[in-house]
Amino acid sequence: MEFGLIVLDSYSRWENTYFCFFKTKTMIFDIIKRRRSVFPAQYNDRPIAKADIEKILEAANCAPTHKRTEPWRFKVLQGDSKEKLGLFLSGKYKENDPSPKEFKYRKLQDNPNRSGAVIAICMQRDPKESLPEWEELASTAMAVQNMWLCCTEMGIGCYWSSPGLIKYMDEFFDLKKGEKCLGFFYMGHYDGEIEAVPRIPISEKVVWL
């Protein structure tokens, strides 16, 4: 842990523990505030290390899960498989849209290639259906938020893309019974700062009783 390096000789063991705890609490709020959607057009060519992707997936696996169904499933695409995904999405778009736009067709084709990696976000429904589906979706979304925050800390840009075309993903992936694709987690290194998207103040969304 990074915090293990913050050792002051004159501090007692207890004081160090307290200091680390305080620092952790401060940092998670800062990372939440810094999280952004960073799109493929903003990525540079720097590859994403496999060890970094593994760490990001490990963060996903720590998400909360009702009845421990652990419904999140991921498919990591790099190299040729990214290209195949771009061809599949753009092809499906052209096939199914009565008036396809060249710009959108190109974007669907190029986005995976511009990314350092793409992670398909899937949800595996509990075969016993012991929970309502929304709980499995919520749990998977929490896993994605863990990945997003982890990327923020690591300086990797990312965002969740959910095109209508995800309904065709069973033709691209070998999805199991009850497994659904919920979109793509595009990832890439980037340069510079990304503007924050403003939010309506929280005070307008909360009722204190």
Ligand X SMILES: Cc1cc2nc3c(=O)[nH]c(=O)nc-3n(C[C@H](O)[C@H](O)[C@H](O)COP(=O)(O)O)c2cc1C
Contact 183, 123 (CB under 8 A): no
Identify the residue among 150, 161, 186, 188 touching ligand X (CB under 6 A): 161
Stretch that binds ligand X, among 16-24, 43-51, 108-116, 160-168 (CB under 6 A): 160-168
Closer residue to ligand X (CB): 41 or 62? 41
Q: How many CB atoms lie within 10 A of CB 20?
A: 16
Query: What residue spans of the chain are helical by DSSP H?
Result: 13-34, 50-60, 80-96, 102-114, 133-154
Q: Can you tell me which residue has the tokens 């016993």?
A: 128
Identify the residue among 11, 162, 167, 170 touching ligand X (CB under 6 A): 162
Contact 42, 190 (CB under 8 A): yes
197 binds ligand X (CB under 6 A): yes
Structure letter (DSSP) for residue 43 = B
Give min distance, CB of 160 to ligand X, in A. Answer: 4
User: For ligand X, what does the binding mask look like between residues 39 and 68, x meaning CB under 6 A?
Assistant: ------------------------------
Query: Cα 57 to chain center, whole Å?
Result: 9
Closer residue to ligand X (CB): 80 or 195? 195
Task: With H, G, I as helix, E, B as strand and everything else as coil, classify residue 182.
Answer: strand
- Binding residues for ligand X, total number by CB under 6 A: 9
160 binds ligand X (CB under 6 A): yes
Stretch that binds ligand X, among 12-20, 45-53, 102-110, 158-166 (CB under 6 A): 158-166
206 binds ligand X (CB under 6 A): no
Stretch that binds ligand X, among 4-12, 62-70, 109-117, 153-161 (CB under 6 A): 153-161
Identify the residue among 43, 93, 159, 190 touching ligand X (CB under 6 A): 159
180 binds ligand X (CB under 6 A): no
157: burial class by Cβ within 10 Å (0-12, 13-18, 19+)?
A: buried
36 binds ligand X (CB under 6 A): yes
Task: Give the DSSP H or E segment for 156.
Answer: strand 156-161
Residue closest to ligand X when measured from CB atoms? 37
Contact 72, 123 (CB under 8 A): yes
The two tokens of residue 98 are 């009565």
Q: How far apart are alpha carbons 99 and 37 in whole angstroms?
A: 28
Binding site for ligand X (CB under 6 A): 36-37, 159-163, 183, 197
